[in-house]
Structure 1
Amino acid sequence: MIDLSGKVVLVTGAGGTIGSGIAQRFSDAGALVVRHNGVEDGDLRTSAQRVVEEAFARHGRLDAVVNNAGVQPVEPLPDMTVSQWQSVVDTNLTAPFAVTQAAASLLPAGGSVTHIASIEGSHPAPGHAHYAASKAALIMHARAAALEYGPRGIRVNTVSPGLITRPGIESQWPEGVARWRSAAPLTRLGTPEDIGNACVFLASDLASWITGHDLVVDGGVTARPTW
């Protein structure tokens, strides 16, 4: 129902499970998608300007960016090294900052940036201190960027996914999947397309008065009482 024909969208981390779903949904909506596939395309902290400029040059315009590239390692906080902490923060927070800064100079009024955050930005899990902290900071970066880029007509939001299905997750983590299904009011895992749909909406004119917002896409699991 959303038509993005002629719009150009840059999706980082498009080679991953969620990223490929996001890219596909933009393509389904008629957008021209420039896919940054991850590590093989370079460190976004230092290559952001090049990646954004190449996306613009490919089609002569850039209308939206989705900062999806990220990592989610597991490491208990007492054992975590500064290097492990910094690596996650650099990838999940510093890179989106760099991409957003580079893109803002090329996006038109009405352009948008969407960060892929996580429900762990407000509901951390054991072993994910660096990940949860980086996603919480990413949500706040989007709000700050919305404040500063808003006068130029550029909107910045976040999408916070819950547990998203991927090949093998049912057999690799059966107890976690079972806990999720029992906790989520909609009783299922999310799909990459669910996240893609949210991103397409936020990049469309239907969201033209939405900025600085964190759109939670989790099947309702964060509505579950914790006591």
Structure 2
Amino acid sequence: MSIPAYDFTHKTGLITGATGGIGRDVARLLFDAGANLVLLDLDPGSLNALAVELGDDARVAALAGDASSPEIIDGALALTTARFGALDFVVPAAGIYPESPVTETSDELWRKVMDINLDGVFRLLRAATPVMADGGAIVNFASLAGHRGSKNHAHYAASKAGVIALTRSLAHELGHRGIRVNAVSPGTISTPMVEALVAERGESMLSGTPLNRFGNSMEVAQVAAFLCSDGASFINGETIHVNGGLFMAG
């Protein structure tokens, strides 16, 4: 992998959903640019494999658990301060994308999607911002669905619309500390989470994408890493689309 154009030496980032397609590549980019990392994910096996891949125990700490759980969040923040003493970047990348028409969506499923995709982000940022270093950065993950809606994924679309509003609200609240809060809004990215969608509607989605291809997780992660960097020092409260022009195409 080529060396990034930014330098995160002596900076610390907390990433949830760290072993997902996008979260993993965010971790790789921040680590390669010198950052210390605290990785949080539900799957301990995948989490350990990522930590081994990165290969520097002095700069990587990992915690397995539910990223929407207040207890796990508190544990991750305690681990961060104990190991590295400061927190500069927070990247909540945990999320789920179950398919369900509105009329077949149970209260339990609706609540589960909201709990992981929106409530968990809120809980994490509520707990993390008091201990974050001034001048830090938060990068949330929204989705094209949060802007346009999504057939059979109303719960997901609603949760991601909430992330967009939360991002803007926190940008207002934290700007006086120099903490920038932005979001990345991916379109169709080739990750396991959207395999079923691509199999069902991939051809029609490509026909409406000016670049005529799906994105990959590294293309999204590069935008997230940029938003953490000094290169984005005056970008705040924004949602950056990464979708090959699909949103523009309508």
Same fold (TM > 0.5): yes
From 169, 172, 179, give the equivalent of 1:154: 179
Give 2:99's aligned residue. 74
Asked if residue 13 in structure 1 is aligned to residue 17 in structure 2, the reply is yes
The amino acid across from 2:91 in the alignment is V
Give 1:193's aligned residue. 218
Count residues with an aligned counterpart.
225
Give 1:30's aligned residue. 34
Which segments of 5 or more consecutive residues in structure 1 lack a partner in the other structure?
none
Give 2:69's aligned residue. 45
Distance 1:155 1:183, change over 3 A: same
CA distance in 1, matches of 2:208, 2:187: 11
How far the C-alpha of 1:29 sits from its partner, in A, is 2.0
Contact 1:26 1:196 in 2 (8 A): no
Contact 2:97 2:193 in 1 (8 A): no
Name the structure, 1 or 2, with higher relative contact order (CA <8 Å, separation 6+): 1
How far the C-alpha of 1:167 sits from its partner, in A, is 5.8
Deviation readout 1:58-117 (Å, 9 max, x if unpaired): 222211010100111111101111111111101111111111111111111111111111
CA distance in 1, matches of 2:169, 2:194: 35
From 107, 112, 116, give the equivalent of 2:137: 112
Percent pairwise identity: 38
From 80, 97, 106, give the equivalent of 1:55: 80
Contact 2:146 2:158 in 1 (8 A): yes
CA RMSD in angstroms comes to: 1.9
How far the C-alpha of 1:33 sits from its partner, in A, is 2.0
The amino acid across from 1:42 in the alignment is G
TM-score, normalisation: structure 2: 0.84
CA distance in 1, matches of 2:86, 2:193: 38
Contact 2:183 2:238 in 1 (8 A): yes
TM-score, normalisation: structure 1: 0.92
